[in-house]
Structure 1
C-alpha cells in the first residue's frame, strides 16, 4: 500500500493510524476511478504494480500456481498466517513457496490440516493451561508477559517439555525474527551463525522428542534423515524450527483478542461461559467455536500480513491486457477485509459473522489465505490461541483496558500490541 502513496507522489506513510487510513482512502479512490478494474501504478523505483480491487481478481490471485504467480522476494510470514514463504527458505512460510511435495505432505500431516481439533489436542491443551498460569499471576497483562508464556508453550508443543527452559534457544529465535524484519538483503554472517546454532539445538531436541510433540510427529513422518544430502528427505528439525518461528504472531493476536473482548463485555461474558462450560462438560476438548470466532475476527481487523505481493513469472493476461514477466501483483488484504463498501460493520468487532460456514470461504476474508496457499496450521493456531483466551477468561474478568476502545464506534485501523495493557480481576 505504501508503494501506491509513493506512486501518487506522496511521502511514505509512517506506521500510524492516520497513515493507514490515508492508504485505504487512496485505494477506495483508485477503485472508484477504475470502476473495479485492475489498477496499474508505478512506484518511484520503476516497479510496476498491478493492484487487485475486485473480488473476482482476488479469487484468481489465490488460485494461480507459483509457476504463474510467485513471491518475489519471498515474503516473511509470521504466526497464524503462514501462506507466504520466508526469505532464504528460513521464514515460517509454507504453502505458497515452491515446496517439495514431501514438505507439503509433512506439514499437512503434522499440523493436522483441516481438522478443528488436533489429534494431540490433549497434551497441547495441557501445556497451554500450565503456561497460561503465568498470564494471570498478577492483575495486569501486557505483551512481554504474553510473549513469554506463548513462546514457552510453543517450545513445549513443538520440541517437548525440556525446551521450555531453554532461554538460549529462545534468544536465538528472537534474533532470527528480528533479522526477518529488517530490510531485504542476504543474512549477515552473525545471523547465519545464529541460524546454524538454532538449527543444531533444535535437531538435538528432535532426536529425543516425544510422540505427542510436533517434532516427534514429524520425525515419524520423515523417517531417518541423511543431513549430508540437501536434496534428500525433509529434515524434521528444519520444519520444527520453522513452526517455532511461525508462532511469533500468536502473542499479538492473543492480546488483541483479549483487548477486544475487554471492550465488549457481552462478548466477553459469552466467551467466558463457553470456556467454563467446556470444562464442566468433562475436560478440555479444544473446540471453543465462539472463542475461535473472536480470534478470527481479531485477525480480520488486524491481519498478520496486511498486503500480499507476488510477481508474474512470465507474460500474463489479466482482463484482456497482457503484462510482462516481473509485474508485481498487489492484493491489499487488510483493505478488503475492512472495506466498508462491501463488508458489513467493517470497522466493528462482530465475531458472530464467523458462525456462518460460508464466512471462511469468503474470498475477501483471508487471515489464512485460500486455495492451495491456505496455511495448513490454521486450525492448530486457532485452537492454541482460543485455548489461551479460555484459560484467562475462566477465572478472570477483563475490567480495564488500555487503549480504551469504543464498543460501538469504528475501531482503530492499527492496534500496536506493545501499547496494550489489560486489568484482570478474579471472577
Structure 2
C-alpha cells in the first residue's frame, strides 16, 4: 500500500501532463490541417496564439520533468513527444531502423493520395524508391539541371504576379497561390499541365480526406484519377521539367512514379506558403531585405545563397511540417525510461526551432544569416527539411524554386505589409498566411 501511495501522485501527474500535451500541442496542430491547411483553424490558432502556447507548455514540462520523452496514452497508438534536442538528432539518424519513417499515423494520412510514396514505403522497395527520387531530383545539387527553364518560368510568373498586384496595389495569398501553382505544374509536368487546375484540385480533395487519416476511408477511384492524370504528363515528358528527369532515371514498375510526383506536388504547396511568408518577413525586416538583395544583380540560374537562407529561416520560424513522426521497430531507452517497440516518437519542430534555451535572442527573430555563418549547424534539432537518412530529397529543388521566384520578384519590386500580423520582432509563433497582404512600395 505504501508503494502504491508513493506511485499514485507521479502517475496522476504524468497523466495530467499527457492530457495537456494532447490538448495544447497535438489537437491544435492536427486541427489546422497536417496535410492540407484549414483556413478557419489557422486563423483561430493565430488569434489564440496556440502555437506559442504549445511551445511554452513543452518547455515548462522539460524544465520540471527533465529531458525524457512525454508518453501519450493513445488507445492502440503508443506515442511519445521528444523534449531534448539531442534526442531529435538520435531519432532522425536512426532510420530506416530502428526508427522507421513510415509511421502508422503517417501512412494512414498519406495513403489517401500516394499509397506507394517513399515516405510510406518500407524495406527494400523503400530503398529503391528513395534512390530513384534522389536521382530524379538530383538531391545533392544546389542547382538542378532544369534551372535554366525554371528561371525563365519563374521570371514569367513574377511578371504576372506584379501585373496582377499592380491592379490593386497589393499582393495577397490567393493571387500568389494561383500563379505559384501554374509555375509548379509547369516545372514538374510541363507547359501542357500549366493550366490543369483539375489535377491539383483532385490532389487537394484527396489531401482534405488525408487530414482525417484513419477516420476517412480511402477514395480509390480518386487516387486512380490523380495517378492517371500525372502519368499522362510523365508519358509525354517535356524537356526541362521534372517529368523529363523522371524519364531519364528510367523507373521500373515498382517505383510508381506517379505517386512520387503526387508527394512532390504536395510538398510544393508547403513551399509556396513558405515563399509567400518569406516575402512578408523581408517586407517586415528592411535590414534583411537589403542583405538579400545584394546578391540579386544579374540574370540566369543561381544558388541564391542568401535567399535560400531566408527561406530556411522562414521554415524555422513557421515549420510547414510541425510534427515529424518516426515509429520504433525495437524497444528503446531514453534517459533511463524504456519504450516499447511500435512507439511513435513525435518531434514537435516549433519547440526546437523557437527554443530560447538553445537559440537565445535568435529564437523569435528572423535571422537568415545563421544558415550561412555556421550557427545553424550547432543546433541538431533545427530541422526545416527533417534530417538524417530521411532528410527531404527535394530540399534543393524546393530552395531553388522558391529562391528563383523570390529573386525575380525582388529585382522588380519592394514590398510592405498591408495586412497580417508580421512584426519584425518578436516574430509570432503562428501566422495566418491566408490573410497576409503585401503592399507595393514605390
Please give the range of the TM-score, normalised by the shorter of the 2 chains: 0.7 to 0.9
Q: Distance in 1 between matches of 2:180 and 2:234?
A: 20
Deviations 1:390-421 (Å, cap 9, x if unpaired)? 111111110333225332x3111100111111
Tell me the SS of whatever aligns to 2:70: strand
Q: Residue 271 of structure 1 is aligned with which of 260, 285, 292?
A: 292
Q: Residue 250 of structure 2 is aligned with which of 219, 222, 226?
A: 222
Deviations 1:30-49 (Å, cap 9, x if unpaired)? 1112332x133334648543
Matches within 5 A, 1:347-366: 347-357=364-374, 359-360=376-377, 362-366=379-383
Matches within 5 A, 1:24-423: 24-36=55-67, 38-43=68-73, 45=75, 48-70=78-100, 71-75=102-106, 86-87=110-111, 90=114, 94=118, 97-98=121-122, 99-137=125-163, 138=165, 139-188=169-218, 191-222=219-250, 225=252, 232-275=253-296, 277=297, 279=298, 283-344=299-360, 345-357=362-374, 359-360=376-377, 362-407=379-424, 409-423=425-439
Q: 1:9 to 1:102 in 2, by over 3 A?
A: closer
Q: 1:111·1:377 contact (CA, 8 Å) conserved in 2?
A: yes
Which structure 1 segments of 5+ residues have no match?
77-83, 226-231
Q: CA RMSD in A?
A: 2.6
Q: CA deviation at 1:218?
A: 0.8
Q: Distance in 1 between matches of 2:330 and 2:113?
A: 22
Q: 1:126 to 1:205 in 2, by over 3 A?
A: same
Q: 2:273·2:433 contact (CA, 8 Å) conserved in 1?
A: yes
Q: CA deviation at 1:422?
A: 0.6
TM-score normalized by the length of structure 1: 0.86
Q: Distance in 2 between matches of 1:15 and 1:53?
A: 22
Bigger drift between 360-369 and 153-162 goes to 360-369
Q: Distance in 1 between matches of 2:340 and 2:22?
A: 24
Q: 1:92·1:243 contact (CA, 8 Å) conserved in 2?
A: no
Tell me the SS of whatever aligns to 2:417: strand
Which structure 2 segments of 5+ residues have no match?
1-15, 29-43
Q: 1:91 to 1:334 in 2, by over 3 A?
A: farther
Q: 1:73 to 1:401 in 2, by over 3 A?
A: farther
1:19 aligns with 2:41: no
Q: CA deviation at 1:97?
A: 4.4
Q: Distance in 2 between matches of 1:89 and 1:175?
A: 9
Q: CA deviation at 1:117?
A: 0.9
Q: 1:298 to 1:9 in 2, by over 3 A?
A: closer
Q: CA deviation at 1:85?
A: 8.6
Deviations 1:197-252 (Å, cap 9, x if unpaired)? 121121111111123211121122125x5xxxxxx442333323332222111221
Determine which structure has the larger helix proportion and give its number. Answer: 2
Q: 1:302·1:334 contact (CA, 8 Å) conserved in 2?
A: yes
Deviations 1:372-396 (Å, cap 9, x if unpaired)? 0111110110111111111111111
Bigger drift between 237-246 and 129-138 goes to 237-246
Q: Distance in 2 between matches of 1:6 and 1:44?
A: 10
Q: 1:387 to 1:9 in 2, by over 3 A?
A: closer
Bigger drift between 299-308 and 175-184 goes to 175-184
Q: 1:52 to 1:204 in 2, by over 3 A?
A: same
Q: 1:330 to 1:391 in 2, by over 3 A?
A: same
Q: Distance in 2 between matches of 1:168 and 1:48?
A: 39
Q: CA deviation at 1:23?
A: 1.7
Tell me the SS of whatever aligns to 1:15: helix
Q: 1:7·1:43 contact (CA, 8 Å) conserved in 2?
A: no
The number of equivalent residue pairs is: 401
